[in-house]
Structure 1
Amino acid sequence: VKTGVLNLDFLYYLTSNIIVLLMFVKFRELRTATNFIIINLAFTDIGVAGIGYPMSAASDIHGNWKFGYTGCQIYAALNIFFGMASIGLLTVVAIDRYLTICRPDIGQKMTTRSYNFLILAAWLNAVFWSIMPIVGWAGYAPDPTGATCTINWRQNDTSFISYTMAVITVNFVVPLSVMFYCYYNVSATVRRYKASNCLDSINLDWSDQMDVTKMSILMIVMFLVAWSPYSMVCLWASFGDPKAIPAPMAIIAPLFAKSSTFYNPCIYVIANKKFRRAITGVIRCQTRQQITINTQVPLTTSQQPLTQ
């Protein structure tokens, strides 16, 4: 039964994110700068689902880690890589929302190359932090259950503590501060224009813009829900006794982290009007001509098709 549940979870996580990618390929209207960032997020989800779940499920059934030292290093590094890439890309989405809604003077100057640079920076940052434990800053090892590999928090030496503090600062505190700043200003800007009844005079599709912004906020909240337990385990191991960490918490923390692959596809469909129209049309077997994705309004840079 346990194996069947794991297989169903894996198939759902993988399939849901692949559907998002297929919608992006099928509908040219979805190929905007903002959605391209979200598509990169879908790739991070597919990476976790396609690599993490099969290996951890096989080890869980086997009773301990069964892929050896090299497999442990690769598995842990890829999970850290995709996790760091996710929060980096979420930060890029927040910056895009801020520039598009609060600073259209700057947002309209953003080009496809500008967005590609920000996306590349998020991926390169993830590469750096995932490789560091392999080359000697902290390290990777099987967790207490033996089913997965992660940062070796049971060895809370100076190397581990410095790595953990650097990761939390660079990849959690700073990005989240940027996100909250961006979305606070987005909310304030919308309230200000609503109060003055000036929304109609702004060269923005506020319906779709706020649609994407709500989706972005939801992704941030669910990302925190997914990764907070893992962060607490690392902090506990850094400043307390790793042996005192309860076994249930050690087991649940990585499971919560991987659950982020479940949230994003749901948020895409529920909160993003354009994705919802596309997927609903496909489910109803409508022809390409019958499915309306765009609203007929002037487009900002972040809404324009990447092929233009």
Structure 2
Amino acid sequence: MMSKGRADVRMEMPDDFYIPIPLETTNISSLSPFLVPQTHLGTPGIFMSISAFMLFTIIFGFPLNLLTIICTAKYKKLRSHLNYILVNLAVANLIVICFGSTTAFYSFSQMYFSMGTLACKIEGFTATLGGIIGLWSLAVVAFERFLVICKPMGSFTFRESHAVLGCILTWVMGLLAATPPLLGWSRYIPEGLQCSCGPDWYTVNNKWNNESYVIFLFCFCFGFPLAIIVFSYGRLLLTLHAVAKQQEQSATTQKAEREVTRMVIVMVAGFLVCWLPYASFALWSVTHRGELFDLRMASIPSVFSKASTVYNPFIYIFMNRQFRSCMMKMIFCGKNPLGDDEETSVSGSTQVSSVSSSQVAPS
């Protein structure tokens, strides 16, 4: 299944798909991912395994993100400014699930993209849009925590209008990143095993300017958000560590530092697990034009990025004690079988602990 030729092979349908294949192969149109099963690229077991994984993300991701929105609407105490961003993240995840994961599940089960080129462009656009909105939502959450806890702007108060502005920003970023391939800067084509669609990482084609678009995505949609997340959580940890050092006898402060440290590690690790493979493969494809690559491996980044629709609710919501308690009460008719006391203890991503913002602000 490894391509044996160079990347500048002949293609009879260059605007629809691209498969790196040996130069001596002549009947390329017969391999179209829109017409026939792509069993020449992988065994049926590989396609069925990925299809099963996509089904897993749908079964768990859809209800988790939908419950996040419903729960926030039902419980007034959850309608904090930060939770606006978490709801925005849930909406982005639902977009990916409904248009990306569902389409990929069906296509992998058929072993080719049977829904045609228009559906490919729709899936590529919506999955990219939802993914980028989700990425920038994580960056906004991190920056909001930095502003509230570290107080770099002194008496600045994070208000509802700021939260709404943050949500709008994520949609602007998402549209800026997802729209260009529809207008001729790169294109949306089947990727990897040809059963899901995304931006064209592979081809060397001046017509599409793929290299510049990939570099734009890497910097604008991965590097920049990652820098915001690392900087914001890094400053938060330093601030809380300084307070904990001053209050070595305070069990509450020490516990806050330990739990926030754990949460930050989980958040950053989740971000990297979901998006580092995609960003790395895109960058590799730009810097290694013409080199051989395994199309089965090229499908892994897309699978990991779609799996973020399951990871994110667990990291940002279910590890938030107050949010988790309200969700359990909604599901179990007012009872919380976990026995969480939402008014005490540390909540993962939205509160540092009972230590107030003024206590952890820089002196």
Q: TM-score range by the shorter chain?
A: 0.7 to 0.9
Give the counterpart of 1:142 among 179, 186, 190. 190
Alignment coverage as a number of residue pairs: 297
How far does the alpha carbon of each residue in 1:13-35 deviate from its partner, in whole angstroms, 9 at most, with x for none? 11111122222122111110111
Cα pair distance change 1:274/1:107, threshold 3 Å: farther
Q: So what's the TM-score if we normalise by structure 2?
A: 0.72
Aligned residues: CA RMSD: 3.2
Partner of residue 226, structure 2: 176
Distance in 2 (CA, whole Å) between partners of 1:85 and 1:199 is 42
Distance in 2 (CA, whole Å) between partners of 1:134 and 1:127 is 11
Partner of residue 304, structure 1: none
Query: Are the equivalent residues in 1 in contact too, given 2:233–2:264 (CA < 8 A)?
Result: no
Instruction: Give aligned-pair identity as a percent.
Output: 24
Give the counterpart of 1:112 among 145, 157, 160. 160
Query: Is 1:44 matched with 2:92?
Result: yes
Distance in 2 (CA, whole Å) between partners of 1:269 and 1:114 is 21
Partner of residue 128, structure 1: 176
Partner of residue 79, structure 1: 127
Instruction: State the AA in 2 paired with 1:64.
Output: Y
Query: Is 1:236 matched with 2:284?
Result: yes
Cα pair distance change 1:8/1:170, threshold 3 Å: closer
Cα pair distance change 1:105/1:239, threshold 3 Å: closer
Partner of residue 29, structure 2: none
Q: Which has the larger radius of gyration?
A: 2
Partner of residue 303, structure 2: 255
Distance in 2 (CA, whole Å) between partners of 1:101 and 1:4 is 42
CA positional deviation for 1:282:
3.8
Partner of residue 82, structure 2: 34
Query: Is 1:70 matched with 2:118?
Result: yes
Query: Is 1:187 matched with 2:259?
Result: no
Q: So what's the TM-score if we normalise by structure 1?
A: 0.84
What residue ranges of structure 2 are gaps of 5+ in the alignment? 1-47, 346-353, 358-363
How far does the alpha carbon of each residue in 1:191-221 deviate from its partner, in whole angstroms, 9 at most, with x for none? 1111222998xxxx99899978865653332
CA positional deviation for 1:110:
2.5
Report which of the two has the higher share of helix: 1
Query: Are the equivalent residues in 2 in contact too, given 1:102–1:189 (CA < 8 A)?
Result: yes
Give the counterpart of 1:89 among 137, 153, 157. 137
Give the counterpart of 1:11 among 44, 59, 62. 59
Query: Are the equivalent residues in 2 in contact too, given 1:208–1:273 (CA < 8 A)?
Result: no
Distance in 1 (CA, whole Å) between partners of 2:235 and 2:225 is 15
**Secondary structure in structure 2 of the residue aligned to 1:150:** strand
Instruction: Work out which structure has the larger RCO, using CA pairs closer than 8 Å and 6 or more positions apart in sequence.
Output: 1
**Secondary structure in structure 1 of the residue aligned to 2:179:** helix
Partner of residue 73, structure 2: 25
Instruction: State the AA in 2 paired with 1:37.
Output: I
CA positional deviation for 1:146:
2.0
Give the counterpart of 2:324 among 276, 292, 300. 276
